[in-house]
Structure 1
Amino acid sequence: MTATHPTHGHRTAKHGLATGMMVFAAVMLMITGILAVMRGIAAIAEDEVFVSTPNYVFAFDLTGWGWIHLALGVVAVLVSMGLFQGSGWARVIGVGIAGLVIIANFLSLPAYPVWSVVVIAMSAFIIWALCTPRRGDA
């Protein structure tokens, strides 16, 4: 019978949590990306889903917002695929993309306020999950 180190189970649990957080971040980033692509397409098509606010400080054309969300969504989906493979570059870029998604949704609050707040919260969880240290990280 071999003796086990008393913290072995704790390390395994921490490793499992960190791995689970990475998968969580990858799934959430993919969902956020797909939804951003759909939101971008809807805005580019000038769908009647969005509210037009004429006196907003950060006024952009609805089509311009659509292209911004479409581009961020495509990049988010691609980065999430890198996260599923466990790439280190994907963690760094994922945090950056989630941050840009937060900014884009903050600036487009008047066009679709409830959904913007939901996506901001999702992106904050993505950043949190990607910044959770994994076993072996310094």
Structure 2
Amino acid sequence: MSSDVRRGESKSTQIWRSSGILFAAFMLIFSGAVAILEGIAAILKDDVFVAGPHYAYSFNLTSWGWIHLILGILVVLAGIALFGGAVWARFLAIFLAGLSLIANFMWLPRYPFWALILIGIDVFVIWALASSFHHHDHHYDRHDHDRHYDAGERR
């Protein structure tokens, strides 16, 4: 049995949690790939994007392109790292998804449709990864631990 099941977590909960992490990894890779394409388009062709009214977070479009390109590459790498199952990859992915969310919020005037889609993906990724951590009760002791074993596994 896995350690999560021994702590009283059902198999369906364990599957749900790992499925959420895998889906978050795929979504991060997708989100990062779109950010890379947006970045390349902004660097190479300034006429692809909407030139709306002045916005409080106004940068030159080429600067935004570089921001999205670099952030997109980092997000894709974090998505790939999640497949390894390391806890540090979850923390890194949550952090980068948060940065991506902020960048896409500030990108709204330039490309509203994809910015909103990517904001939604980033919110889901943060939720899925943050809710995947197992919370321990502070009053957990040996007697509670033994109750989670069935009669055949008790020592």
User: After superposition, where does 1:72-91 map in structure 2 within 5 Å?
Assistant: 72-91=71-90
Aligned-partner Cα distance in 1 for 2:136–2:126:
17
Q: TM (normalized to structure 1)?
A: 0.87
User: After superposition, where does 1:35-74 map in structure 2 within 5 Å?
Assistant: 35-74=34-73
Aligned partner letter, 1:28: M
Larger Rg belongs to: 2
Secondary structure of the residue that 2:48 maps to in structure 1?
coil
Aligned-partner Cα distance in 2 for 1:129–1:137:
18
User: Structure 2 vs 1, CA of residues 122 and 89 (structure 1 numbering), >3 Å: closer, same or farther?
Assistant: same
Aligned-partner Cα distance in 1 for 2:115–2:82:
24
Is contact 1:37–1:73 with CA below 8 Å preserved after alignment?
A: yes
Aligned-partner Cα distance in 2 for 1:78–1:137:
30
Q: 2:106 — aligned with what?
A: 107
Q: 1:31 — aligned with what?
A: 30
Aligned partner letter, 1:44: I
Is contact 2:46–2:61 with CA below 8 Å preserved after alignment?
A: no
Aligned-partner Cα distance in 2 for 1:52–1:45:
16
Q: TM (normalized to structure 2)?
A: 0.78
Is contact 1:15–1:134 with CA below 8 Å preserved after alignment?
A: no
Q: 2:149 — aligned with what?
A: none
Note the alpha carbon deviations across 1:45-75, whole angstroms, 9 max, x for none.
Answer: 1242201235211110000000011011100
Secondary structure of the residue that 1:85 maps to in structure 2?
coil
Is contact 1:14–1:135 with CA below 8 Å preserved after alignment?
A: no
Aligned-partner Cα distance in 2 for 1:72–1:137:
34
Aligned-partner Cα distance in 2 for 1:81–1:22:
11
Is contact 1:46–1:62 with CA below 8 Å preserved after alignment?
A: no
Aligned residues: 132
Q: Percent identity?
A: 43
Aligned partner letter, 2:125: I
The unaligned stretches of length 5 or more in structure 1 are 1-9
